[in-house]
Amino acid sequence: MGHRNDALRAARLRAGWRSMDAAAAALSAHGRQFLGDRSFDVAPRTWRRWEGASPGWPPEETAMVLHDALGRWPEDLGFTAPAGWIRPEALHEDDMKRRTFLNVTAAALVPGPTARQHVDPALIDYFEQQLEGHYRADMFLGPHDLIGTVSAQYQLIDKLIRSATGKTRRGLLRVGAAYAALVGWLYQDAGDLGGAAFWRGITQEMAARSRDPHLVGYSLVNLAQVRTDLGDGPGVIDLCEAALDDDRLFPKVRVMAMQQLAHGASLTGDRTAVDRLIDTAGGLISRVDDELPWGNACRRTPGYLEVQRATCYGRLGLGRAAEVLWSQVLESVPATARRDRGVYLARHATAAAGAREPEQAVEIARAAAEIAAETRSARMLRELGTLERAMRPWHDAPVGRDLAEILAPVTEGV
């Protein structure tokens, strides 16, 4: 019989406490230091009860020690909170949420007017070159180290737009939309869909102000990406079809809209539409020849459209077909695209589980977990959570315990 309180067990393993006796000893030592109380003690039998079917509720000071040691409050560790329990942090939660919102929006909502200044047209090229560097850095670093840098550059672009005129102003609006799109992506990769949706909206505003139909289409695809992460298939379809209504779009933007529309189709269970859209987009790839600095994943990412097809197949529950595609795709992914490779590996592992190949899933997951620990990409962690759910049929088998040990340092218990 498996452990009844899997949430506490998962947190214990993440902390490196491999047995319940070791956990009791480690928590006791942590509590004595945290509380400054040499008498603080958690007995091994107490911890064993906590991981059982009826863990009860720890005393308030023990709850504080658990939170400090494991980073989670008891109700998130499988305990049942008593009536009237209020987390100490909840008293400040509203204020924290307000400050977080201000931090997310601050770079885009700078009040004016600002002092007038001369804006040289050469700045457009400067920001475009910086943008390409940010795209490359994102492949290596993940979101957290770049959000502040790219947001600050967007803020500078916004300031310059207020003084620029004519073609220079229009060019800065276009590059500003591309920077806002990247900030939105970074928030989405970090798991903050509220921040992502805000910056996708800023992208659409800047695109509309630039009067560039290709950017307007791109901004709609950006909004559809958030809808995809929300599991809103009809919303994805509405936005992508709105983008494709414009016959002027460059092939690149049409490819982006079609592949995202395929994700919407997968969310509504329509495999026929998925294949039709990916195949049609594939016929346009050779015609992508613009020099725009944004939206170049279809040229930069090996097997770009097959990545989308494999992802859609996984979402549709087509484990065997998805597993075959991921095996092919991963052969061409360069080592430099480390974060993307981690996401693909996690999806490949889930497909292997869906194909009833749990041992292969665990072997693939080992490499994915290593990358997830480095990048802390929320997108990757979400994929690993999906893998855990797909592996539930083997939860109590040796292969399931192997997976729990591999993922314990980087995922929440499920």
pLDDT tens for 305-341 read: 999 999 999 999 999 999 999 999 998 888 777 788 8
Give the whole-angstrom CA distance, residue 350 versus residue 173: 41
pLDDT digits 0-9 by tens, 54-72:
888 888 789 888 988 998 8
pLDDT digits 0-9 by tens, 213-243:
999 999 999 999 999 999 999 999 999 999 9
b or e along 373-411 (b: 16 or more beta carbons within 10 Å of the residue's beta carbon)?
Answer: ebbbbbbbbebbbbbbebbeebeeeebbebbbebbbebb
pTM for the structure as a whole? 0.73
- Identify the helix (H) or strand (E) that includes residue 172: helix 166-189
Where residue 101 falls among pLDDT bands split at 50, 70, 90?
low
> Which residues does 294 contact at the CB level (< 8 Å), separation at least 6?
131, 177, 178, 181, 182, 215, 218
Where residue 273 falls among pLDDT bands split at 50, 70, 90?
very high
Q: What is the pLDDT of residue 91?
A: 44
Q: What is the pLDDT of residue 191?
A: 81
Arithmetic mean of pLDDT, 162-186: 96
Integer angstrom CA distances of residue 321 from 274, 298, 316, 333: 13, 22, 10, 19
Integer angstrom CA distances of residue 152 from 107, 119, 147, 197: 6, 18, 8, 18
Share of the chain above pLDDT 90, in %: 57
Arithmetic mean of pLDDT, 191-197: 90
